[in-house]
Structure 1
Amino acid sequence: MLDDVTTQLRRGVVEFCALGLLAAKPMYGWELASALTDRGLIASIGTLYPLLGRLRDRGLIVTFEQQENDAPGTSAGPTRKYYRLTDEGEAHLAAFRSQWGPFTRNVTEILEKGLAS
């Protein structure tokens, strides 16, 4: 039963966690998936790409390709597809951030104290 709760909580916030990571810096898929799996927010990289597709379809992120550079003086590495936020993505994340603090404070207060204030 607790696993079901955790799954529902993840589904509710993983989109915003991905946007938050991309707000810090553009990332390629594997890098983003690692950051989210390391924190237990997605099960595998396979669950990330459908999410990224939905975010792109909604205009919240865009992709660009960039060739990785190895150490100076060596040949360049592979070309990777990176993801970054759009202005709409920044606004969407900002709206979520403005709601998240009050929401989590209210939930924590209710869980810890009930309705007594």
Structure 2
Amino acid sequence: MHSLKLFNKTIAALICTVFTAITLCPPEVVHSDTLLNLPAPGNMVLTTKAFEPARIQGMTIYPKDPFSFDFIINKGDDISMDNEEHLRAESMKMIKYFMASLTVPERDMWVNLS
């Protein structure tokens, strides 16, 4: 029991010493390196040109086979679309979203035109 009290007093004294040392000798100001090329505060920030993502430009429907489609994909400004595999994966994602939108009943559709 006596050793527990001594241990608690030692820990309390150590914590008080650390807090006092931190108060009397504050650490130096720490900041991260600038990762972004931001202008100085107060300077005007100019807008960048508009980014055009990849999108479905159009599609071809074959009257003899109504379940066969050819999709026309516009790569837009995304330079990663120059990679054939990435373009194919992104195109398939857009086509799947389009096909899923066809399965939604018209009475459940809602478009915000404001």
State the TM bucket, normalised to the shorter chain. under 0.3
Please give the TM-score of this superposition, normalised by the length of structure 1. 0.25
User: Based on CA coordinates, which of the two structures has the bigger radius of gyration?
Assistant: 2
Higher relative contact order by CA 8 Å / sep ≥ 6: 1 or 2?
A: 1
Tell me the TM-score normalised to structure 2 length: 0.25
